[in-house]
Structure 1
Amino acid sequence: MHLVPAERAGQRTIDGHRVCDAIAAVGEPERVRALAERFSLLSDPGRLALLLALHEAGPIAVTDLALATGMRDTAVSQALRLLRTAGIVEGERDGRIVRYRLVDGPISALLEHCTPQDGEPNGA
């Protein structure tokens, strides 16, 4: 049980090797905080709807995202600003129009895993 911090070393264990595996999986507190912040971006239904739309539709303008998600343009813009700051989406200017796309590989993979494919029941 070499990974157990000294302040917890005296606590009772059942499977010491599993405790070490679990501690290694959790990692540093800063890593856990960073992951929690990343997941918090997905916890808002509006932002999640935008990410699902971007995942499926590719580069798309704010107005079109608003229409697709039922959100107001300003709400879409605010959500995209948060997602852009987090490095999850990026915008590409085409004259006066900015089209956004999903750039974060892990988030894209998560969305792929969580959305049903053709022929699959919802939640599969």
Structure 2
Amino acid sequence: MHLVPEERAHRRPIDEHTVCAAVAGIGEPQAVRVWADRFSLLGEPGRLAVLLAVHRAGPIAVTDLALATGISETAVSQILRLLRVAGAVTAAKEGRVVRYRLDDPDLARLLDSVPPLPGGH
């Protein structure tokens, strides 16, 4: 059981090979934390809607995101602030308009696996 951390090595497995495969499958604790943080961004319907819109519509302004998602501009701005801090989106100013785009390729691949609902709702 070469992959089991020392503090758990005293425990007796049923199948050592399976335990090692599971440990390898989990990976580094920090990587698990990073993925858990990504998944938490997707866990609230408003954030998920904003992320999907930003990802699928390309660079988009807060006003347009509010119109597309049905979420108030204030709430969209708050969501985008959280997403920027998390490193999921970036903003680029074009004159007086700020447009947001997805800036996390791993998150983009996750969002690609979310099918749109029929009728766009």
| TM-score interval for Structure 1 and Structure 2 normalised by the shorter chain | 0.7 to 0.9
Aligned residues: 118
Q: Distance in 2 between matches of 1:60 and 1:6?
A: 49
Q: Partner residue of 1:29?
A: 29
TM-score (norm: length of structure 1): 0.85
Q: Distance in 2 between matches of 1:17 and 1:95?
A: 59
Q: Partner residue of 2:63?
A: 63
Unpaired stretches in structure 1, ≥5 consecutive residues? none
Matched ranges for 1:15-94 at <5 A: 15-94=15-94
Matched, 1:113 2:104: no
Unpaired stretches in structure 2, ≥5 consecutive residues? none
Deviations 1:59-110 (A, max 9, x none): 1100000010000001000100111111111111011100111111011111
Shift in Å, 1:17: 1.3
TM-score (norm: length of structure 2): 0.87
Q: Partner residue of 2:9?
A: 9
